[in-house]
Structure 1
Amino acid sequence: MPATLRDVATRSGVSLRTVYYVLSRTVRIAPDTEAKVRQAMDDLGYRPNLLAQGLRKGRTQVLAMMVPELDVPYFSELVRIVIHAARERGYILMLDQTDGHAAREREMLDDLARTGLFDGIIVSSLGLTPEDIADQKVPIVLLGEHLVGELHDHVTIDSAAAAKDATNHLLDLGRTRIAAIGDQKSRTASLRTQGYLEAHRDRGVAVDDNFIVKARRYHRSYGADAVQRLWQQNARRPDGLFCYNDLLALGAMKELHRLGLRVPDDVAVIGFDDIEEGEYSIPGLSTVSPDKAQIGTTAIDLLADRIAGRRTGPGEKVVIDHNLVIRGSTSGTD
């Protein structure tokens, strides 16, 4: 027979109520007592029925998360953090992919909100508008730099400031012909372009309009394609690249190598997102590093507080820190 809560209480030498408090996290328990209870659970192979516990409280203990593309490493790394943070707070996370299509995002959000199966939803959107989410009653936390109103909590970074920091790093290296590679349509891209332009303006460095290059998607092949176009269409060649995500930067570095150019000697390259792959590229990829751990845990904390009624009223916007990680693609050494 499966182990019960009473079995856990007996083995750990505490009351049944204490075991419940450990599971529900409704009362603070001494760390050594909690450790004994959790050790007893492990020894007995006890697995709490989170759904049954939630339904007794009028909740399902299940959250949903929408992301554009799971095969983009930034999102897969962020999802892993969110899953862990949700589990720590007694929630199960269900995941779906929107492919970055606004219509699909609207349809999926409506479907998830209507089912009643989810206590809350985390949304990383590329195309939702304030009108799309204004009438949603389920607690929602929004991720990213998109304009989606003030009714729901929002976790983001200062993308313009981060882009400015990345561009300034290249300017500090003496690079004066810096190209920017991104999709140029989304709000994320517009903020990163804004930071790129501000850095040049503040330093009195002119920007060549041909150096702001469109990449239709944030994948490696589009970074390589952007470099091809830069080198084919311009007599004046960049000596620095600011790519709006790390995948674009990795694709760009591969194409620079194919063209016989050295990174960073001929062209310094910096990306955005600090994905694990960039640490192991040759050279290692310099990048803007948003605090993904803080983004994921903050999103879950905000959602859990809304679900529990600990927070009410207008949504809160939380801006998460970022920093530059300097590696061989700009410094020349790893």
Structure 2
Amino acid sequence: MDKPRVGLKDVARLAGVSVKTVSNVVNGYVHVTPATRTRVQAAIQELNYRPNLSARNLRQGRTGIIALAVPELDIPYFAELAHFVVACAEERGLTVLIDQTGASREREQLVAEGFRAHLIDGLIFSPLALTAEDLAARMDDTPMVLLGERVSEGPADHIVVDNVAAAREATLHLASLGRRRIAAIGAQDDVAAETSRLRLAGYHRALEEAGLPADDRLVVYVEAYHRADGARAMATLLDAGQRPDAVFCFNDPLALGALRTLLERGHTVPGDVALAGFDDIEDGRYSTPTLTTVSPDKQAIASQAVDLLVDRMAKGSQAGAREIYVPYKLVIRESTNG
């Protein structure tokens, strides 16, 4: 005979708490004391209790699943961000379905129009190809929170970092070291390259404030934001006889690629060339030298995004879209500080 299914009442009896308290622990509510949570989790483990998610979600009219759609998971920033989104969602009893769009307009359109709407309760979306007008015209009513710079003041809640201010601060740091030929690696002329445009604007603003001339020969355009692109861009600068004494790269993989080229060509970092990146990926903390970088608060981005999405899922409305800026800091390491 099959063993009887363990229920909330059994867990509550063993833990010495109410059924409501057990439900709160199972559903990830934060307003449970640590001692009570530990006692309930011990009872759950002892009884091998498994919540009936299908029945619970049917009662709530939900799947218990949200989606995260990002351009590229092989860019470490998005992989690390996905880690934090999954962790924050788990705390709220949610499962995350992760989708990679490749920054393809067609793929992003499918995501926005809800081709997986029957599977999910909400969407956290970092679009690169779609515009605010595209998203405002979507027919799908799945709650959505936007990440990144492509769609500002759009039709949905939006989490963003002030890229102009952050790029300005990183470039001013290089200028404060007495560097006068500060290059920029990461410019793009693609219509979707809003991040690039904002960081380039911050770079130019810092040069102006520091009284340094803007030299177009020191700005290198790239196709993508991978290590190989950074290595090629640095080689382009050196081969053209434009060796800078500092470089601001628009993300950390570009900086790590540039670092490799500099070292291969016999240049010291930061002795000959000071180097700074953007995103504070884990690799930069263990490179030689370690990488100075702009560190956006990825955990805050994830937490804010999940919180806003849960709020939208509860209210069932996209009215009154909110735009929230999350903090960043400049982390100074060996690549500029020696």
> TM-score interval w.r.t. the shorter chain?
over 0.9
Q: 2:194 aligned with 1:191, yes or no?
A: no
Q: How many angstroms apart in 1 are the aligned matches of 2:204 and 2:231?
A: 23
Relative to structure 1, the CA distance from residue 30 to residue 223 in structure 2 (aligned partners, 3 Å threshold; closer, same or farther) is closer
**In the alignment, which of 113, 116, 119 is matched to residue 118 of structure 2?**
116
Deviations, residues 143-189 of structure 1 (Å, cap 9, x unaligned): 11112543210001000000000000100001110111114230000
Question: Shift in Å at residue 266 of structure 1?
Answer: 0.4
Relative to structure 1, the CA distance from residue 26 to residue 280 in structure 2 (aligned partners, 3 Å threshold; closer, same or farther) is closer
Structure 1 letter corresponding to 2:88 = A
Relative to structure 1, the CA distance from residue 30 to residue 254 in structure 2 (aligned partners, 3 Å threshold; closer, same or farther) is closer
**In the alignment, which of 106, 113, 116 is matched to residue 103 of structure 1?**
106
Alignment of 1:1-334 (within 5 A): 1=3, 3-24=6-27, 28-112=31-115, 115-134=117-136, 135=138, 136-185=140-189, 186-233=193-240, 235-309=241-315, 313-332=319-338
Q: How many angstroms apart in 2 are the aligned matches of 1:322 and 1:147?
A: 20
State percent identity of aligned pairs.
46
Relative to structure 1, the CA distance from residue 25 to residue 74 in structure 2 (aligned partners, 3 Å threshold; closer, same or farther) is closer
Q: How many angstroms apart in 1 are the aligned matches of 2:19 and 2:289?
A: 56
Question: Shift in Å at residue 51 of structure 1?
Answer: 3.8
Deviations, residues 11-36 of structure 1 (Å, cap 9, x unaligned): 11223233223334679444433332
Q: How many angstroms apart in 1 are the aligned matches of 2:233 and 2:327?
A: 29
In the alignment, is the contact (CA less than 8 A) between 1:182 and 1:215 conserved in 2? Answer: yes
TM-score under structure 2 length normalisation: 0.93
In the alignment, is the contact (CA less than 8 A) between 1:64 and 1:112 conserved in 2? Answer: no
Q: How many angstroms apart in 2 are the aligned matches of 1:52 and 1:200?
A: 60
In the alignment, is the contact (CA less than 8 A) between 1:268 and 1:330 conserved in 2? Answer: yes
Question: Shift in Å at residue 242 of structure 1?
Answer: 0.4
Range with bigger deviation, 186-195 or 29-38: 29-38
Deviations, residues 128-155 of structure 1 (Å, cap 9, x unaligned): 1112221341110101111254321000
Question: Shift in Å at residue 40 of structure 1?
Answer: 1.3
TM-score under structure 1 length normalisation: 0.94
Structure 2 letter corresponding to 1:127 = A
Q: How many angstroms apart in 2 are the aligned matches of 1:46 and 1:173?
A: 60
Question: Shift in Å at residue 231 of structure 1?
Answer: 1.0
Question: Shift in Å at residue 47 of structure 1?
Answer: 2.8
Deviations, residues 29-69 of structure 1 (Å, cap 9, x unaligned): 44433332122112323232334312211111110110111
In the alignment, is the contact (CA less than 8 A) between 2:28 and 2:90 conserved in 1? Answer: no
In the alignment, is the contact (CA less than 8 A) between 1:183 and 1:217 conserved in 2? Answer: no
Q: How many angstroms apart in 2 are the aligned matches of 1:29 and 1:266?
A: 55
Range with bigger deviation, 132-141 or 270-279: 132-141
Q: How many angstroms apart in 1 are the aligned matches of 2:114 and 2:128?
A: 18
Relative to structure 1, the CA distance from residue 285 to residue 51 in structure 2 (aligned partners, 3 Å threshold; closer, same or farther) is farther
In the alignment, is the contact (CA less than 8 A) between 1:128 and 1:148 conserved in 2? Answer: no
Structure 1 letter corresponding to 2:220 = V
* Residue aligned with 1:169, SS: helix
In the alignment, is the contact (CA less than 8 A) between 2:8 and 2:19 conserved in 1? Answer: yes
Structure 2 letter corresponding to 1:84 = A
Structure 2 spans left out of the alignment, 5+ residues: none
Relative to structure 1, the CA distance from residue 69 to residue 56 in structure 2 (aligned partners, 3 Å threshold; closer, same or farther) is same
Structure 1 letter corresponding to 2:49 = Y
* Number of matched pairs: 330
* Residue aligned with 1:180, SS: strand
Q: How many angstroms apart in 2 are the aligned matches of 1:183 and 1:88?
A: 38
The alignment yields a C-alpha RMSD, in angstroms, of 1.8
Deviations, residues 209-230 of structure 1 (Å, cap 9, x unaligned): 0111011110000000001111
Q: How many angstroms apart in 2 are the aligned matches of 1:242 and 1:231?
A: 15
Q: How many angstroms apart in 2 are the aligned matches of 1:177 and 1:28?
A: 54
Structure 1 spans left out of the alignment, 5+ residues: none
Relative to structure 1, the CA distance from residue 79 to residue 130 in structure 2 (aligned partners, 3 Å threshold; closer, same or farther) is same
Structure 2 letter corresponding to 1:292 = K
Relative to structure 1, the CA distance from residue 105 to residue 310 in structure 2 (aligned partners, 3 Å threshold; closer, same or farther) is closer
Relative to structure 1, the CA distance from residue 18 to residue 242 in structure 2 (aligned partners, 3 Å threshold; closer, same or farther) is same
